[in-house]
Amino acid sequence: MPVSVSSSKLIYQSLKDVGVRLVSALPETWLVHLIRFAEDDREMQLVRLAKEEEGVGISAGAHLAGVSSAMLMQNHGFLASVNGIVSCAQLYRIPLLMLISHRGEFGERDPWQTEGGGVTIHVLDALRIPHVRLESPDHVSQRIQKAHTLAKSASRPVALLLCRDLMWEDA
């Protein structure tokens, strides 16, 4: 499975560097290494979810209790979380660091991913959620750090879109 181990390591280390100590996740192909790193890291609390929206509540609770967290999900998981994002995180000014695997863009081979890929950015914009693409190892660390800074200072959700060129190594 050509999911980039080196990019996943870079993303994971960047999350650690900004102080993330709890990660909620629902597995999808591009996230497998990230979830495994969290699972193997004794400094990290991994919370495996049944549905992504739970992660909003868990991150909100962790934040109020003083623990920085991140959410790992596919863009369809983000779409499934919209009410929680609006009526928990935005209503109560909770910083969320959302790492969203951005399936369904150019190069996508799975037909079932293509519809979500087309609407993700529009939904983020409609929700006024600042977002940035992670597509090259060069900027991963800096963009995660800046996203985390904005989430904290604004006390609002922010999104990092994990893109194909970063996550997938075609054979």
Interface with other proteins by CB under 8 A: which residues? 22, 45, 47-51, 53-67, 69, 83-84, 87-88, 91-93
**Minimum CB distance to other proteins, residue 50 (Å):** 3
**Minimum CB distance to other proteins, residue 13 (Å):** 22
Choose between 8 and 24: whose C-beta lies nearer to other proteins. 24
Choose between 10 and 44: whose C-beta lies nearer to other proteins. 44
**Minimum CB distance to other proteins, residue 80 (Å):** 11
Choose between 56 and 134: whose C-beta lies nearer to other proteins. 56
**Minimum CB distance to other proteins, residue 156 (Å):** 13
Choose between 46 and 123: whose C-beta lies nearer to other proteins. 46
- Interatomic CA distance for residues 102 and 90, integer angstroms: 22
Q: Which residue(s) pair with 97 in the sheet?
A: 158
